[in-house]
């Protein structure tokens, strides 16, 4: 069968929410029923045997452990916020990465979690639960005023905007359907949708890079489309450079990088839907010094 590779058993990844539980106690608890290993690249990420079902596990239910894949867990780690910083999660629901940021900051500092969709704000509030230093903001990230004193100390921004999701399992199964069931009209609609998403992604990325004190911006998608990934970064790059940013290399040991479509794309990170279970994309923008902002 042509798509067999998708069915090769893959480990089940879980991320320990270190705000609630240490990694060792988590390994001990999960190890009662399964073989548990640590991931060698992403801290606090554990690997369990393929097919392990933890949906009803008490540690999952009480938010000590998140059912979050490896690629998705790389995003907040790439941003690398320091404890005590002010951080903005621009498109945050359901909040998996918000909680991950809070854990990386060891509960110290402040996170503003912005979300446009009202229903999803509820899910965000459920997820963040008792992460007290997260302030939820129901609104459009594009409408946040970069000059508002509320954001004058924001040093890192995570931008994980709406995307086509073409790197995720559910979306990929759709694309495996023979063309006679989807047809050209569907393919055209798809292109139109991706272009529309990319227009929003470009605006949102430029907006993120416009906050006065921001030093680190991560742009991520769960899409495999060049239009939503390398093309978005490439088109915003001159603006980024004019604001003092450059691309840096998240997870330098990771082998899969951006498609070689512009100079600098080797800094970008891609995960492969088959080899890595999910197709994610990460770009990291860093600026070293900002006039008038406190030194690190």
Please give the positions annotated as active site.
222
| CA separation for the pair 296, 293 (Å, rounded) | 9
| Choices 51-59, 155-163, 239-247, 248-256; region in contact with ligand SAM by CB under 6 A | 155-163
| CA separation for the pair 27, 100 (Å, rounded) | 18
User: Helix H segments across 163-212?
Assistant: 169-175, 179-208
**Cβ neighbourhood burial of 264 (10 Å; 0-12, 13-18, 19+):** middle
| CA separation for the pair 78, 160 (Å, rounded) | 12
Asked if 285 and 242 count as a contact pair (C-beta separation under 8 A), the reply is: no
Q: How far is the CB of 111 from ligand SAM (least distance, A)?
A: 12
Distances (CA, A) of 244 to 184, 196, 248, 288, 291: 43, 28, 13, 8, 10
Q: Residues 125-139, buried b or exposed e (16+ Cβ, 10 A)?
A: bebbeebeebebbbe
Contact flag: residue 234 with ligand SAM (CB under 6 A):
no
Report the residue from 63, 69, 81, 95 that binds ligand SAM according to the rule CB under 6 A.
95
**Which has the closest alpha carbon to 76: 109, 42, 107, 117?**
42
Contact flag: residue 17 with ligand SAM (CB under 6 A):
no
Contact flag: residue 104 with ligand SAM (CB under 6 A):
no
**Which has the closest alpha carbon to 229: 260, 186, 189?**
260
Query: Is position 179 annotated in a ligand binding site?
Result: no
Contact flag: residue 141 with ligand SAM (CB under 6 A):
yes
Report the residue from 22, 49, 140, 189 that binds ligand SAM according to the rule CB under 6 A.
140
Query: Is position 192 annotated in a ligand binding site?
Result: no
Report the residue from 44, 86, 160, 215 that binds ligand SAM according to the rule CB under 6 A.
160
Contact flag: residue 279 with ligand SAM (CB under 6 A):
no
Q: How far is the CB of 18 from ligand SAM (least distance, A)?
A: 17
Size of the site for ligand SAM (CB under 6 A): 18
| Choices 32-40, 80-88, 95-103, 185-193; region in contact with ligand SAM by CB under 6 A | 95-103
Task: State which residue, 96 or 277, has the beta carbon closest to ligand SAM.
Answer: 96
Report the residue from 132, 142, 187, 261 that binds ligand SAM according to the rule CB under 6 A.
142
Query: Is position 149 annotated in a ligand binding site?
Result: no
| Choices 113-121, 170-178, 189-197, 283-291; region in contact with ligand SAM by CB under 6 A | 113-121
Asked if 101 and 81 count as a contact pair (C-beta separation under 8 A), the reply is: yes
Asked if 30 and 48 count as a contact pair (C-beta separation under 8 A), the reply is: yes
Report the residue from 12, 15, 57, 97 that binds ligand SAM according to the rule CB under 6 A.
97
Query: Is position 114 annotated in a ligand binding site?
Result: no
Asked if 224 and 166 count as a contact pair (C-beta separation under 8 A), the reply is: yes
Task: State which residue, 36 or 44, has the beta carbon closest to ligand SAM.
Answer: 44
Asked if 220 and 253 count as a contact pair (C-beta separation under 8 A), the reply is: no
Binding positions are 91-97, 115, 140, 160
Residue numbers at the binding site for ligand SAM (CB under 6 A):
91-97, 114-117, 120, 140-142, 160-162
């Amino acid at each position: 069968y042509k798509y067999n590779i998708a069915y090769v058993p893959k480990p089940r990844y879980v991320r320990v929410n270190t705000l609630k539980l240490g990694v060792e106690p988590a390994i001990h608890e999960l190890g009662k029923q399964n073989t548990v290993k640590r991931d060698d690249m992403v801290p606090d990420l554990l690997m369990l045997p393929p097919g392990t079902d933890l949906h009803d596990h008490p540690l999952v239910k009480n938010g000590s452990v998140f059912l979050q894949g490896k690629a998705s867990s790389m995003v907040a780690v790439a941003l690398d916020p320091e404890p005590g910083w002010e951080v903005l999660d621009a498109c945050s629901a359901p909040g998996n990465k918000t909680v991950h940021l809070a854990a990386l900051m060891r509960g110290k500092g402040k996170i503003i979690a912005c979300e446009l969709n009202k229903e999803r704000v509820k899910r965000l509030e459920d997820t963040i639960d008792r992460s007290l230093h997260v302030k939820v903001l129901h609104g459009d990230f594009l409408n946040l005023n970069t000059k508002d004193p509320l954001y004058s100390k924001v040093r890192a921004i995570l931008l994980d905007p709406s995307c086509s999701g073409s790197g995720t399992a559910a979306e990929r199964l759709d694309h495996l359907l023979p063309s006679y069931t989807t047809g050209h009209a569907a393919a055209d609609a798809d292109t139109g949708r991706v272009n529309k998403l990319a227009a929003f992604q470009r605006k949102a990325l430029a907006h993120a890079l416009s906050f006065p004190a921001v030093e680190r911006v991560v742009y991520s998608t769960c899409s495999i489309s060049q239009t939503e990934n390398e093309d978005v970064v490439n088109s915003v790059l001159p603006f980024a450079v004019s604001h003092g940013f450059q691309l840096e290399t998240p997870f330098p040991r990771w082998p899969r990088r951006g498609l070689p479509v512009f100079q600098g794309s080797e800094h970008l990170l891609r995960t492969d839907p088959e080899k890595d279970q999910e197709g994610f994309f990460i770009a990291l923008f860093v600026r070293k010094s900002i006039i008038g902002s406190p030194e690190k």
